[in-house]
């Protein structure tokens, strides 16, 4: 079957006789997908319904003449594709022809016209239309392939860096899930703040890389089980700068945002954080959001030198830092986000092995406390927890009042654990 003969043709002419003549002429040439109307005001509606490949348009019509209808159709036609519109008239003056062609007509047929001439002209126009559509389709396919390839390259680049982040994280987080949880919570907070879903997903991905700079911290510091010396803490602070430098210079939107997050997620709302001592809205919103998510996860995650805080206690601590360590609006969004979150729901995002390990550790600690006749809240806290307090940037007295300093020598700790928020 000839593809050209499958073309859809629309005829607009106020004379019934002309419509019958043109319809018969087209049928003799093998064109049977023809729609007609005698009402020029219906032309635009019919055009939208039919989506024709060619339009035959009478020049002289009541209400709206051919030039006016031509303008409507040109404005409604899909951009980037060739749509032939042929003006049909009994007037053969050069002024009429030039006016129609200037208005956007593709060709001009003067009555009376011969069958052969009409069919040849229409065939040529439809061939051009078909080539235009094929070219447009090929362009769209090429653009889609470029988008897919770009996406693949973007995903490959991102995967390499996330694996690098996981490699850094595995040095001081046996589960390798801290970054995932921080990213998930940061996304929930951003969504609560009203961010567009595209931006929410961007932040979720970027937050996964917030601690990638730890890859550049020496093992003797990163894996130290006890509290940092001032010099060691200064060295640990450099992970924000290292991470930002690793991520800098990318054209990827995810990595550009990840650079900002890595550099600023340890800044404090009151200006007491690091690495540039920014305060308030000087800190990018992405860094303010990730700061809350990072500290919350550090508090609720178990480590050999501390048991996990309950979700409720961690939420209270985040709330207590509103306007001090954290952006008040971000804290408010966090509290709304967590208001319907039960402990079991939060724990469910952690790997089963981690949850089991935490349960065993907590049960063991409770048994020891009961045998010694003291509650967990009253037990002295090893220096390792003081290190956690320092590293989280929670220098406020609230934490120290909740966990009084003990002169007891800290417990022996596995050398593989790190400072959670350093």
CB 217 within 8 A of CB 242: yes
The helix/strand/coil state of 148 is: helix
β strands within 76-183, DSSP E: 85-89, 107-110
What is the DSSP pairing of strand 107-110 with strand 85-89?
Answer: parallel
Give dist(CA 223, CA 180) in Å, integer.
21
Q: 4-140 and 171-223+231-301+309-350: same fold?
A: no
What is the DSSP pairing of strand 54-58 with strand 34-37?
Answer: unpaired
For residue 176, name the pLDDT band (cuts at 50, 70, 90).
low
For residue 185, name the pLDDT band (cuts at 50, 70, 90).
very high
The residue extents of the domains of the chain are 4-140, 171-223+231-301+309-350
Give dist(CA 140, CA 137) in Å, integer.
5
Residue 171, CA distances (Å) to 4, 140, 221, 224 in order: 67, 46, 11, 11
At residue 68's C-alpha, the angle toward residues 65 and 74, to 5°, is: 135
CB 242 within 8 A of CB 267: no
Residue 380 has pLDDT above 50, yes or no: no
Between 153 and 350, the higher pLDDT residue: 153
Return the percent helix, strand and coil in the chain, to nearest 5: 60, 5, 35
User: What's the pLDDT score for residue 2?
Assistant: 65
Name the fold adopted by 171-223+231-301+309-350.
Answer: Hypothetical protein af1432 (1.10.3210)
User: What's the pLDDT score for residue 376?
Assistant: 30
The helix/strand/coil state of 89 is: strand
Q: Give me Rg for the CA atoms of the chain.
A: 36
Give dist(CA 356, CA 349) in Å, integer.
13
Q: What is the pLDDT of residues 254-311, one digit of tens each?
A: 999 999 999 999 999 999 999 899 999 999 999 999 999 999 999 998 765 568 899 9
On average, the pLDDT of the chain sits at 80
- Token output for 56: 């035959």
Residue 385, CA distances (Å) to 129, 307, 389, 390 in order: 75, 9, 6, 9
Residue 12 has pLDDT above 90, yes or no: yes
User: What's the pLDDT score for residue 274?
Assistant: 93
CATH number of 4-140: 3.40.50.2300
Closest CA to 393 of 267, 302, 301: 267
Residue 315 has pLDDT above 90, yes or no: yes
At residue 59's C-alpha, the angle toward residues 58 and 62, to 5°, is: 85
User: What's the pLDDT score for residue 145?
Assistant: 94
CB 318 within 8 A of CB 326: yes
User: What's the pLDDT score for residue 31?
Assistant: 92
Q: What single DSSP character describes residue 78?
A: P
Q: What is the mean pLDDT of residues 27-43?
A: 92
Is the full-model pTM beyond 0.75? Answer: no
The helix/strand/coil state of 306 is: strand
Share of the chain above pLDDT 70, in %: 77
417: left (phi over 0), alpha (psi -120 to 50) or beta: beta
The helix/strand/coil state of 107 is: strand
Give dist(CA 319, CA 308) in Å, integer.
18
Specify the range with the lowest mean pLDDT, choosing from 102-111, 120-129, 384-393.
384-393
Q: What is the pLDDT of residues 101-114, one digit of tens each?
A: 888 899 988 888 88
Give dist(CA 84, CA 56) in Å, integer.
9
Among 13-27, 214-228, 314-328, 384-398, the range with the most confident prediction by mean pLDDT is: 314-328
Q: What is the mean pLDDT of residues 26-34?
A: 92
For residue 4, name the pLDDT band (cuts at 50, 70, 90).
confident
User: What's the pLDDT score for residue 358?
Assistant: 44
Residue 218, CA distances (Å) to 79, 192, 209, 418 in order: 59, 38, 19, 11
User: What's the pLDDT score for residue 340?
Assistant: 62
Count of residues making up the chain: 422
Describe the crossing of helices 66-76 and 43-50 by its angle, rounded to 10 degrees. Answer: 40
**Residue located via tokens 């594709």:** 81
Element (DSSP H or E) covering residue 58: strand 54-58
Between 142 and 345, the higher pLDDT residue: 142
Residue 170 has pLDDT above 60, yes or no: yes
User: What's the pLDDT score for residue 155?
Assistant: 83
User: What's the pLDDT score for residue 361?
Assistant: 42
């Amino acid at each position: 079957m000839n593809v050209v003969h499958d073309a859809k043709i629309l005829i607009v002419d106020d004379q019934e006789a002309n419509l019958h003549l043109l319809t018969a002429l087209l049928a003799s040439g093998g064109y049977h997908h023809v729609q007609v109307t005698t009402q020029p005001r219906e032309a635009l509606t019919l055009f939208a319904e039919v989506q024709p490949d060619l339009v035959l348009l009478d020049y002289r019509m009541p209400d709206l003449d051919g030039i006016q209808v031509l303008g409507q159709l040109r404005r409604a036609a899909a951009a980037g594709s060739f749509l032939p519109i042929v003006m049909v008239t009994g007037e053969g003056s050069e002024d009429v022809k030039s006016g129609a062609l200037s208005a956007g007509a593709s060709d001009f047929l003067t009555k009376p016209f011969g069958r052969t001439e009409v069919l040849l002209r229409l065939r040529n126009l439809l061939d051009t239309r078909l080539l235009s559509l094929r070219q447009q389709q090929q362009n769209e396919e090429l653009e889609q392939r470029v988008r897919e390839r770009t996406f693949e390259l973007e995903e490959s680049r991102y995967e390499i860096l996330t694996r690098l982040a996981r490699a850094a994280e595995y040095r001081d987080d046996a589960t390798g899930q801290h970054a995932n949880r921080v990213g998930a919570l940061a996304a929930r907070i951003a969504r609560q703040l009203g961010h567009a879903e595209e931006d929410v997903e961007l932040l979720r991905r970027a937050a996964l890389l917030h601690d990638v700079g730890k890859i550049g911290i020496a093992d003797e510091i990163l894996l130290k089980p006890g509290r940092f010396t001032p010099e060691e803490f200064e060295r640990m602070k450099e992970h924000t700068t290292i991470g930002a430098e690793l991520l800098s210079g990318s054209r990827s939107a995810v990595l550009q945002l990840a650079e900002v997050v890595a550099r600023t997620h340890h800044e404090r709302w009151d200006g007491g954080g690091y690495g540039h001592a920014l305060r308030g809205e000087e800190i990018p919103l992405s860094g303010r959001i990730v700061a809350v998510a990072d500290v919350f996860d550090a508090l609720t995650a178990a480590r050999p030198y501390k048991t996990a805080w309950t979700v409720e206690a961690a939420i209270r601590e985040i709330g207590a830092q509103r306007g001090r360590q954290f952006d008040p609006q971000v804290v408010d969004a966090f509290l709304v986000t967590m208001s319907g979150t039960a402990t079991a729901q939060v724990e469910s995002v952690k790997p089963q092995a981690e949850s089991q390990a935490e349960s065993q550790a907590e049960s063991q600690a409770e048994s020891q406390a009961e045998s010694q006749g003291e509650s967990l809240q009253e037990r002295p806290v090893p220096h390792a927890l003081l290190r956690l307090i320092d590293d989280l940037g929670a220098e406020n007295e609230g934490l120290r009042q909740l966990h009084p300093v003990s002169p007891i020598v800290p417990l022996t700790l596995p050398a593989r654990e790190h400072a959670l928020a350093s």
